[in-house]
Structure 1
Amino acid sequence: MHTTSTSAPMHVEHQGHGLQIHSPHYQLSYHHERPYARLSDSAGRLYSELFLAPSLHTTAGLDRTARLRPPEIEHDGQTVTVRFSLEGGIWQHKTLVLRCDPGGIDTFVEVSGSAWLTDVHLFGGYYSGHQRWGSGFFSSGAGFTHAFNPEPYAREQRLVPAGQSSAIDVMGTSLPGKGHWFFTPAPLVYAFSQQHPAGQLALGADQGGSPDEDGAEGQPLSSRWLGASIVAPVEELNFTAFHYDALEGAFSFRLSYEGQTEVDGHFRSPTLRLTFSDDPYEAIAQNSARHAELHITAHAPQPQPEWWSTPIQCGWGAQCHLAREHGGRAPDHCTQQNYDAFLDTLDAHDLQPGILVLDDKWCASYGTSEVDRHKWPDLEGWIARAHRRGQRVLLWWKAWDAEGLPDDACILDDLGERVTADPTSPSYEAILRGAVRRMLLEYGADGFKVDFSARTPSGPGLRRAGSAWGLHLLHRLLWILHDEAKRCKSDALVMTHTPHPVFGNVTDMIRLNDVNTGADVNEQMTHRARVTRAALPRHLIDTDNWPMPSLTAWRAYTRLQPELGIPSLYFVTHTDGDGQAFTAADYDLVRDTWQRYAQAKRKP
């Protein structure tokens, strides 16, 4: 039996034991004898064999599938919905849904039952439904050679071989395996290529492959990129990481819930959307546009206050230089006396930044954000004097730190020890809102530079007041800060490093974050700016400026800054990497760069 549906723009062919779905951008086919759907581009070039029996593991046990039922198909001309009922496993009911529209494929899993989720495997899972292939964990087939991850890693390997696993998450430190705190979170988007990117995309060193090779089944390789991204409201992002789990020629995706999300009745996994694009940054932009189309994102306020776009001077780099010269830790040197000296030096060279950032540690306690009067005896007067000069002041704010907080305001571990602040705790919310009012209304500050968002709590057994976890929990923390800031001052500026569409309503400016001194500075920061513009096109960008491997690298990046966003200066007299002193020409460079930036802003 062979039937055809030709309703534009989706075209469906039912062929005996399978079906084929055609859209203007891709093809999807399925045969009942195999638990896979073959995904190809519009020209029929195979990108993946998608495994159709996902596993949703829980603290009570590992999930699996014993039978994949023939699909149920609905077709309304614009959308083709394919539902696979899955039998066996630990859930009362489990269904995989593929919803195909002209632009891409939305996939999610629906289950019913009661359990605490640990890991949700998409396009991979335990299966025993076809004896000819044995049993165990099955993955999807990879018809691509390279995988792109937008999250900056310490090794700056944004493009890796398809057989190498990767992760996008909200955690990170300088410890082994965690060197990816720069964006928390980055857009939850992977992109996959059949070709080596030479000539397509400047992403780093050669990692093998050739655009002249043939792909699977001898087909010519495609120049298109397959994007796989999470599109969901923040309330569904109760996981800490979006993993790409890879093997040679195979892969699956995994969401880490860590035993922290309870299912009681019905659960639907966040939507994973598959699309094709010309390059990875377009895939990120598609993800952002899809969020906007579904009204699950928010943009920065328009119009933005003029002062938000003025050059930034942050004292952290200068503090690091003082620590190098005089000893102690860099936070020890965040003092009113030192910051007065910073401004005197800049003023002597005719440099007047519009935004001043008081960095770590101006406060006596991270958790309560009360000023350290030994370091800043007259913070209120210092800020007032900056205002009279036409300058605004941001206070550095350390996310998550439990210093000075009571236990009922914190997430606790198995021993009852404080791990982080708890944004779901009414006690902590009251403390944080009070701290925001103090910083903005009593001290007179104009906003916040948020740092250490990568300390988002992670792991089983941690106890909190509410249910939010992972990305959702970080969003909750930033929402409280941002909401109270706007209640205090409508033009308060909140700067974060969260270039993800659903974080658009809790941040006003995206900071590109710390520089990797072991890699090319301009190249890595250009990548970060491209990711940010694709994910949050209406948000401002702080280009950052620290640390720097050398004075030469600092000069090159200073020249580039206006092309990426708002110029940001972290040093006053020396760079920190090589300890070289600024020359008169270096101050001229900063002044000329700021003038060039101001002139470009005035152009229509």
Structure 2
Amino acid sequence: MSMISDASPVRVEHHALGLEVSSSAYVLQLDSGRPFARLCTAGGQVYAELFLAPGVNTTHGLDRTARLHPPEVTQEAGSVTLRFQLEGGLWQSKSLVLRCDASGIDSHVEVTGQGTLTDVTLFGGQYSGHLRWGSGYFSSGASFTRMFNPEPYSREHRTVPAAQSSAIDVMGTSLPGKGHWFFTPAPLMYAFRRDAGPAAAALGADQGGAPLPDSAAEPLSAVDGLWLSAGIVAPVDALNFSGFHYDAQEDAFSFRLAYEGQTQVDGTFQTPTLRLAFAEDPYRAIEQHSARHAELGYTRLDRGTPADWWATPIQCGWGAQCAVSRLQGGRAPDHCTQANYDAFLEALTAHELHPGILVLDDKWSLHYGTCEVDRERWPDLEGWIERAHQRGQHVLLWWKAWDAEGLPPEACVLNDLGEPVTTDPTSPAYEAALRLAVRRMLLEYGADGVKVDFSARTPSGPGLKRHGTAWGIHLLHRLLWILHDEAKRCKPDALIMTHTPNPVFADVTDMIRLNDVNTSADVIEQMTHRARVARAALPHHLIDTDNWPMPSLDAWRAYTRLQPELGIPSLYYVTHVDGDGQALTPDDYRLVRETWARHAAGQEQP
């Protein structure tokens, strides 16, 4: 047995059957007779057996590995790097690199050659190098039993069994299998725990948050009090995939990046880094994940001092439009009219409610793609906004991301038939059109910012055609960067609101919206969870607590009371809630006034 630099925070011990890398945070054990690395806590609890032959698949076919060489070991100040050379497959050369530092392990794959990427499989892949165990697709071994995904899903489970697959991506809608569009994207990080048994304590409050159960029956608890996190840590221009997938089966797992045949390699390609580390709970793991991005210069989490008016109570007309639709018929967007919004304000004023921010929702515009005002519905939008300014209120205009309504094909992502699918942020024609639309909203109409919606309509799939190379998460960031950049050119204090609580989106958003309430689950639990994810990912960004839809007036009341603890109070209703159609009472208006006063008092504290 031999040891390298015992004084280093990361130690390497060589022995007859392999080697061991250890620090005060973890132990990584390699056996030369098996294509796996066993990952344990510093206390010796096994969490995973990591399969060491990844796959970088292309449109030409499935990648594979026929031989896994023992690692080349190098040591630097504070870290140890293991480089595994792999033979066979589609590439001229392929390597798996594990860089082990004191607190975690960074892994990536390097390939040389040519190809158009489809899926990249990490810690799983096609392999025929140890025929003792046969050949085919091999996965990593899972000693953990539960998996945490920070992206809210329609069933609102905080964790699911480790044998259940999941995804973090930038797509979603209400159709089956796509009901996870609330954050696009959430932090690209999963967390895993070993069951602690029924006697374990529930995950408690963190920085004032309430305990959050996985479901109605199970607490977020882990053996040794630790969770294993696995997150993509990379600059945004390396995120040219649409989804970060966790592919699981009984006692096994691997990760997958979906490039969808949209990224070409000609020369050398390196996958984004997948970092493994341990944390006390999933929210702390998200904090570490974001801090790692900032440490490496991939983001700036501190975005400077927000304008004072950004933190004032929000009134969004969408819930009121839905209530009108319920009472009078028609589609909710049909009720986005100047007359209705005047009536909304009159009702609020009558009850001494004066929101600082007014949001004009869907559909004030004639065409989503151009943001020209619909004069039949809003004959004097400019005057309406100016009168709001005179009252000391600011106005945001709702903006539907990706919708190509009113735009020419050269500004769009096209399908095989040459038909527009979405707008194309890599198209010079669309960039010009979007910048013009922003100037129209903020300078011509006088609005003070934009509420972004439908970012989950990010284009996805093989064969779609665009002008540039950005795809997936990178393409969504490009879209929001153009919007944010032009808004700040127009008005430095313009407010851009998104639902993108991801560290590399810190530069394209000013406020994180918690997004629509899921009426099939407990409102308090789900929104508290979302707020904790957003605060952990972007600790210096403001949070819009949202307020729609609500299953009942009682649920609305309970959530209204909670809002100041989570972020900025947001009011979507004026006279009725649309869930059960009940009318707001004088006590309800008093509740909103008291809630807003409590929020204002909190803002005044140093």
- Secondary structure of the 1:265 match is strand
What CA deviation, in whole Å up to 9, does each residue of 1:341-370 have, x standing for no partner?
000000000000000000000000000000
1:157 CA drift (Å): 1.5
Corresponding residue number in structure 2 for 1:113: 113
Structure 1: gaps spanning 5 or more residues:
213-220
Aligned alpha-carbon RMSD (Å): 1.3
* Contact 2:318 2:361 (C-alpha < 8 Å) held by counterparts: yes
1:211 CA drift (Å): 7.8
Rounded Cα–Cα distance in structure 1 between residues aligned with 2:340 and 2:473? 37
Rounded Cα–Cα distance in structure 2 between residues aligned with 1:208 and 1:39? 26
Q: Given the alignment of the two structures, is residue 467 of structure 1 paired with residue 469 of structure 2, yes or no?
A: yes
1:70 CA drift (Å): 1.0
Corresponding residue number in structure 1 for 2:191: 191
The number of aligned residues is: 596
1:10 CA drift (Å): 1.1
Rounded Cα–Cα distance in structure 2 between residues aligned with 1:204 and 1:224? 16
Corresponding residue number in structure 1 for 2:25: 25
Please give the TM-score of this superposition, normalised by the length of structure 1: 0.97
1:587 CA drift (Å): 0.2
Letter in 1 for 2:297: H
Corresponding residue number in structure 2 for 1:342: 344
Corresponding residue number in structure 2 for 1:433: 435
Corresponding residue number in structure 1 for 2:83: 83
Letter in 2 for 1:153: Y
- Secondary structure of the 1:466 match is coil
1:2 CA drift (Å): 3.5
Q: Given the alignment of the two structures, is residue 204 of structure 1 paired with residue 214 of structure 2, yes or no?
A: yes
1:199 CA drift (Å): 2.2
1:77 CA drift (Å): 3.9
Corresponding residue number in structure 2 for 1:511: 513
What CA deviation, in whole Å up to 9, does each residue of 1:521-558 have, x standing for no partner?
01000000000000000000000000000000000000
* Contact 1:3 1:15 (C-alpha < 8 Å) held by counterparts: no
Rounded Cα–Cα distance in structure 2 between residues aligned with 1:25 and 1:414? 51
* Contact 1:300 1:508 (C-alpha < 8 Å) held by counterparts: no
Rounded Cα–Cα distance in structure 2 between residues aligned with 1:382 and 1:211? 52
1:205 CA drift (Å): 2.7
* Contact 2:3 2:11 (C-alpha < 8 Å) held by counterparts: no
Rounded Cα–Cα distance in structure 2 between residues aligned with 1:574 and 1:210? 36
Q: Given the alignment of the two structures, is residue 359 of structure 1 paired with residue 361 of structure 2, yes or no?
A: yes
* Contact 1:35 1:51 (C-alpha < 8 Å) held by counterparts: yes
- Change over 3 Å in CA distance of 1:414–1:334 after alignment to 2: same
Letter in 2 for 1:92: Q
Letter in 1 for 2:603: K
Rounded Cα–Cα distance in structure 2 between residues aligned with 1:263 and 1:376? 50
Corresponding residue number in structure 2 for 1:601: 603
- Change over 3 Å in CA distance of 1:415–1:211 after alignment to 2: closer
Corresponding residue number in structure 1 for 2:139: 139
Match of 2:312 among 304, 310, 313: 310
- Secondary structure of the 2:430 match is helix
Match of 1:256 among 240, 258, 280: 258
Corresponding residue number in structure 1 for 2:55: 55
What CA deviation, in whole Å up to 9, does each residue of 1:46-66 have, x standing for no partner?
111000000011001100000
Match of 1:486 among 474, 485, 488: 488
Q: Given the alignment of the two structures, is residue 238 of structure 1 paired with residue 250 of structure 2, yes or no?
A: no
Structure 2: gaps spanning 5 or more residues:
204-211
- Change over 3 Å in CA distance of 1:184–1:401 after alignment to 2: same
Letter in 2 for 1:73: V
What CA deviation, in whole Å up to 9, does each residue of 1:140-193 have, x standing for no partner?
000101000000011101200011111100000000000011000000010000
Corresponding residue number in structure 1 for 2:161: 161
Rounded Cα–Cα distance in structure 2 between residues aligned with 1:203 and 1:112? 46
Rounded Cα–Cα distance in structure 1 between residues aligned with 2:357 and 2:378? 19
1:327 CA drift (Å): 1.1
Corresponding residue number in structure 2 for 1:293: 295
Rounded Cα–Cα distance in structure 1 between residues aligned with 2:302 and 2:510? 6
- Secondary structure of the 2:224 match is coil
- Secondary structure of the 1:505 match is helix
What CA deviation, in whole Å up to 9, does each residue of 1:1-35 have, x standing for no partner?
53443032111101123111110100001011110
- Change over 3 Å in CA distance of 1:519–1:208 after alignment to 2: closer
* Contact 1:195 1:223 (C-alpha < 8 Å) held by counterparts: no
Rounded Cα–Cα distance in structure 2 between residues aligned with 1:209 and 1:394? 39
Letter in 2 for 1:140: S
- Change over 3 Å in CA distance of 1:537–1:209 after alignment to 2: closer
Rounded Cα–Cα distance in structure 2 between residues aligned with 1:510 and 1:187? 13
Corresponding residue number in structure 2 for 1:35: 35
1:196 CA drift (Å): 4.9
Once the two structures are aligned, what percentage of the paired residues are identical? 70
What CA deviation, in whole Å up to 9, does each residue of 1:480-527 have, x standing for no partner?
000000000000000000000000000000000000001000100000
Letter in 2 for 1:427: A
Letter in 2 for 1:143: S
Corresponding residue number in structure 2 for 1:551: 553
- Change over 3 Å in CA distance of 1:161–1:475 after alignment to 2: same
